[in-house]
Amino acid sequence: MSGTSKATVAGVLDIASGISAVIGAAVLGGMGVIGFSVLASEATEVGFIKVLPLAVLGPLALLLLVAGVVAIVGGIAALRCSSWGWAVAGSVASLFAFLPAGIAAVILTILAEEELRAASQKN
């Protein structure tokens, strides 16, 4: 771990945002499945209403899961100073995962650009 304090803090913020996004994606997916199950158990003739919770919450959960995974990978790259591209991608993904921490992560990642690029070229 040879990163600067800016890169280290940005990486920690990315990882924390990513973990919260993965947990949020699991909750959204669960809500979609539960909503689908509840509406499917009712005897209604309108078919599209039954799949509405899953159709709306499923893609949102998938997008949040992808953003969370990218934020975690980018946070690890920022902590290790291994890749400037992944560090930026993780910071941007953390914007979608958890906005306040994402803003700070993007600012700190951009401020640590020289150190991250230099360290990633050494590796």
Q: How many helices (H) and strands (E) does the chain have?
A: 5, 0
**69: Cα separation from own chain's centroid:** 5
pLDDT at residue 1 greater than cutoff 50: no
Whole-prediction pTM? 0.88
Residue 3 has pLDDT above 80, yes or no: no
> How is residue 36 written in tokens?
């689908």
CA 6 – CA 115 distance, rounded (Å): 9
Closest CA to 6 of 82, 73, 79: 79
C-alpha 31/C-alpha 115 separation (Å) is 42
Where are the domains positioned within the chain?
A: 5-122
**pLDDT value at position 8?**
93
6-23 pLDDT per residue, tens: 999 999 999 999 999 999
Give the pLDDT band (50/70/90) at residue 45.
low
